[in-house]
Chains A and B, each alone.
Chain A
Amino acid sequence: MTIEVKDIHFSYGKVKALSGINLHLENGAVGLLGPNGAGKSTLLRIFLGFLVPDSGEGKILGYDIKSQQSHIRRYVGYMPEDDCFIPGMDAVTFTSYLGELSGMSRQEAMKRAHEVLFYVGLEEGRYRLVETYSLGMKQRLKLAQALVHDPKLLFLDEPTSSLDPQGRKETLELIKDISSKKDIQVLISSHILSDIESVCSHVVILNKGELAAQGEIDELKEIKYRLYEIKVKGESQGFLQKLKNIGCRIEETEDMLLKVYMLPEQSPQEIFKVALEEKVQVRHFIKSQTTLEDLFAKVVGVD
């Protein structure tokens, strides 16, 4: 078990940041989602050993989150969201320097720095000062420094933010490569849900400090609701109201398409039953492919 936490509670003074978080995450790529203030940063702070939870217990890579923070940081790679570098260093020096701080010998760190810079595609610019790098190159460099000591667990905070489409695609390819083939677990915190969907198989959604959903993305989408797209003819207000009354969530698109989110225990026949009662014609009915955005909106309760 790479990440295992039980009943984690944490408060900043009177403000409750996390409440009863239970997680069991195995190998692979995991997306950490949630609106602002959901507790993602606090959870990452606890994972990295910077905060000690008020109550609860947990282990990261087998190390206790309350007493073995230093060990955790030794075997974890962290790619921060912010633009961050150490001025006056070229990329090789920068990467090997951080490798040394992780516990590598100087020679090994230097050798390894060349390898990871080659891997992230910075081999041509590795002797340039990091302050002269473009945003995309800095993003790759941050990934390189997180990988230099060959971590078992990688925390990526908004890895594709501020990147152009090509840079974003390439970064996602790297993350996919790392997480799918290299037995490194990756935890990605991102607001770009399509990125999470394309890279991760597993997702953790936090809302207001609580665990809103956790599991395989495909399963969650199935379990949480079913989505149907319908078009109707006739007076639809009463029809829509009745659907809401039986627990469906409805979205109307600009082209008069109705997206009906039904609970898994509900049958789609109920839509037709309500239509019959309200005397509207169902002209279009299709079981739709749900996206992570839909799931996110559903569990977090926003459109």
Chain B
Amino acid sequence: MTIKEKGYTHWEGELEEKKFPWWPITRFGILSTFRKKFFKIFFFGSLIPAVVFLVGIYISERLDDFRTMIQRPERLLNVDPGYFKSYFTGDFLLFMMVMILVFCGAGLISDDMKHNSLQLYFSRPLKKNQYFLGKAAVVLFFLFMLTLVPGLVFFFMKLIFAGSFQFFTTYPWLPLSVIGYSLLVTVFFSLYTLFLSSLSKNRRYVAILIFSVYFFSDILFGIFYGIFRNQHFALLSLKVNLQQIGALIFNQKLPYSISSLYSFLIIFSISFLAAVYLRKKVKGVSIIK
């Protein structure tokens, strides 16, 4: 390889201060996740509950047409905040969300640490928060596709299928609950993923951590609950804490008879500690050793 005769030429344009300087990071993160083997299968598989619940909403408005097929449909397909809560806090959806985190989040920071690319980011006019936002937005995108988007689609489809605003006037706060819970669960999972991703340079270890911390917390709850029969051990489980908060936000009976405030505190504390750790761990100054 030789230097071309054309030589170096100056660029004529002007560098801009962008409104969303983190967007290229997010765009690349999303595209590279879609390029991963089996991801598309998992992602579209995780949309199955959304499709099933959407069909349920349709049937709930056409009960007469389906009466011969479904036994006591009024009980089964009563679309109310409880129906939304069932979707958002279902075990299958939460499991699929964790699987999505494994695919899209494991390498977000660990790959940058492994390949020394933090120095490439931070030698640009990119602030640390913008870097984190760009990375977190990858997780936010995929989780919103499983929470916020289906939740709002359910709500609007219910109105469309019903052909009236009665559902909205009965539960005017429901869209806010959908937005609130979606934000809470996605922000928590984003920080959870980024924190674990910053712990190791090996994305496989991170993937195992993302998966095992979530499930181990649930198994731990099962073991302690089996021994002591005390519902407070439910607070050990990330899944149960999210389900408790979900029940509160959708104004439903809590699955466990413990205050949901504790669950809020636990989820908030984990998120806060993860954010503090990330800020300390990922340093722009480490660009020159």
Where the two chains meet, the residues of A that have a C-beta atom closer than 8 Å to any C-beta of B are 41, 44-45, 48, 50-51, 70-71, 73-76, 78, 80-89, 93, 97-98, 100-106, 108, 112, 115-116, 118-124, 140, 145, 147, 149-150, 157, 170, 173-174, 177-178, 181-182
CB pair A85–B15 under 8 Å, yes or no, is: no
CB pair A88–B6 under 8 Å, yes or no, is: no
Interface digits, B209-233 against A, CB 8 Å rule (1 contact, 0 not)? 0000000000000000000000000
Residue of B nearest to A149 (CB): B15
CB pair B117–A103 under 8 Å, yes or no, is: no
Q: Which 10 A-B pairs have the closest CB atoms?
A: A103-B15, A84-B116, A150-B11, A121-B1, A78-B123, A74-B125, A101-B124, A100-B24, A50-B285, A82-B116
Residue of B nearest to A148 (CB): B11
Other A-B contacts than A50-B285, A101-B21, 5 sampled, CB-CB below 8 A, are A45-B288, A73-B126, A98-B124, A101-B126, A123-B4
CB pair B17–A103 under 8 Å, yes or no, is: yes
Where the two chains meet, the residues of B that have a C-beta atom closer than 8 Å to any C-beta of A are 1-4, 6-11, 13, 15-18, 21, 24-25, 28, 32, 35, 107, 111-112, 115-117, 119-127, 284-285, 287-289
Residue of A nearest to B17 (CB): A103
| Given A44-B288, A103-B15, A121-B8 contact (CB < 8 Å) | no
Q: How far is the CA of A196 from the CA of B55 in the complex (A)?
A: 71
A50 contacts which chain B residues (CB < 8 A)? 122, 284-285, 287-288
Residue of B nearest to A120 (CB): B3
Among B3, B16, B17, B122, contact of A121 (Cβ-Cβ < 8 Å): B3
Among B18, B121, B287, B288, contact of A103 (Cβ-Cβ < 8 Å): B18
CB pair B15–A104 under 8 Å, yes or no, is: yes
A123 contacts which chain B residues (CB < 8 A)? 4
Q: How far is the CA of A84 from the CA of B111 in the complex (A)?
A: 11
CB pair B8–A80 under 8 Å, yes or no, is: no
CB pair A103–B16 under 8 Å, yes or no, is: yes
A182 contacts which chain B residues (CB < 8 A)? 8, 10
CB pair B287–A119 under 8 Å, yes or no, is: no
The smallest C-beta distance from A34 to any residue of chain B, in angstroms, reads 14
A124 contacts which chain B residues (CB < 8 A)? 1
CB pair A170–B3 under 8 Å, yes or no, is: yes
Among A105, A119, A170, contact of B6 (Cβ-Cβ < 8 Å): A119
The smallest C-beta distance from B2 to any residue of chain A, in angstroms, reads 6
Of B13, B122, B124, B285, the most chain A CB neighbours within 10 A belong to: B124
Q: How far is the CA of A73 from the CA of B11 in the complex (A)?
A: 17
Q: How far is the CA of A239 from the CA of B25 in the complex (A)?
A: 68
The smallest C-beta distance from A146 to any residue of chain B, in angstroms, reads 8
B107 contacts which chain A residues (CB < 8 A)? 87
B35 contacts which chain A residues (CB < 8 A)? 88
Q: List 29 A-B contacts (CB under 8 A).
A: A44-B288, A45-B285, A48-B288, A50-B122, A50-B285, A50-B288, A70-B127, A71-B125, A73-B123, A73-B126, A75-B15, A76-B123, A80-B116, A80-B288, A93-B28, A97-B24, A97-B28, A98-B124, A101-B124, A104-B11, A104-B15, A105-B13, A112-B11, A119-B7, A119-B8, A119-B9, A170-B1, A170-B2, A177-B7
Residue of B nearest to A166 (CB): B1
The smallest C-beta distance from A110 to any residue of chain B, in angstroms, reads 12
A101 contacts which chain B residues (CB < 8 A)? 21, 24-25, 121, 124-126
The smallest C-beta distance from B153 to any residue of chain A, in angstroms, reads 30
CB pair B287–A48 under 8 Å, yes or no, is: yes
